[in-house]
A = this chain, B = another copy of it.
């Protein structure tokens, strides 16, 4: 199907739910093409209308399989699902890793599912600067849920918390060490904790350990939160526990809306989006003017970062 690049036409088609138009619009927005800017501006009007669910956790926890199951669950309820798969390591290897995400890709041909992978291309940190633009396209497209999945080297929990509304932290019974070593960051940002692969031995212990660690967190000088992050056991391969997980995700969304916490999070997301925008536009412009000679001059100590930085910003 041919899709024009005309902004008005693209916007209209995206808002009508046209996947081909959304795909084109997303490319324009993500590539930071000048043509993407009017689109991004329009789609931003839909920001915050749809629950964004982040799936994070260590490698091997079964995040993709679980995401696939969640998609299946939402589809059984006729909800439209948008999926963004972010790959933090692609800065080096180039491509994105949807190929590894078989359980997600099973849904790729379902017209009620829109899937896109985003490479973080050389960014410092696990997120791509254009993730918010991509999210707003999916919001404008009329998705009922947006799932942001990190390929997950286990770090993304803090970053993802500035992007989504609800953070699912996925682990497994085999990851006892992981749970023990889990840093405060993960414990604090997880809104729902999932012990996946619940068919493995040690499920109850893992659930208990997590609940204990979470209770400890509450005790350690923190105010009791209105939302106490629940722990749910799932077996993504068989689908066990997935409906329960989806129920908790819905409950968290209701909590966010009722408590005012949702608006607080949306503000934080917007602040991050603004930070990304400024970074893209200023830093990249300035750094785009760095020459190989500039770098050589630093290596040979003819200049230093502060001196060179000021020069770049003045020009």
Contact = CB atoms under 8 A, between A and B. Distances in A.
Contacts of A132: 305
A97 B183 contact: yes
Interface in A161-190: 161-162, 174, 177-178, 180-186, 188-189
Contact of A295 (B123, B126, B267, B299): B267
Grouping DSSP codes into helix (H, G, I), strand (E, B) and loop, the A interface class, with mixed when no group exceeds half, is helix
A278 interface: yes
Number of identical protomers: 2
B151 A183 contact: yes
A283 B287 contact: no
A97 B282 CA distance: 33
A305 to B, nearest CB: 4
Contacts of A126: 125-126, 155
A278 B286 contact: yes
Contacts of A23: none
A309 interface: yes
A155 B154 contact: yes
Query: Which size class do A's interface residues fall under?
Result: 35 or more
Given A174-B177, A274-B309, A153 B287 contact: no
A221 to B, nearest CB: 11
Contacts of A309: 274, 277-278, 281
Interface string A275-296: 1111101110011001000111
A88 to B, nearest CB: 6
B274 A90 contact: no
A153 B305 CA distance: 29
A237 to B, nearest CB: 15
Nearest to A297: B270
Interface stretch (A40-48, A138-146, A251-259): A40-48
A185 B91 contact: yes
Which 10 A/B pairs are nearest by Cβ-Cβ distance? A125-B125, A89-B185, A155-B155, A59-B181, A60-B177, A153-B155, A93-B184, A270-B298, A44-B304, A277-B309
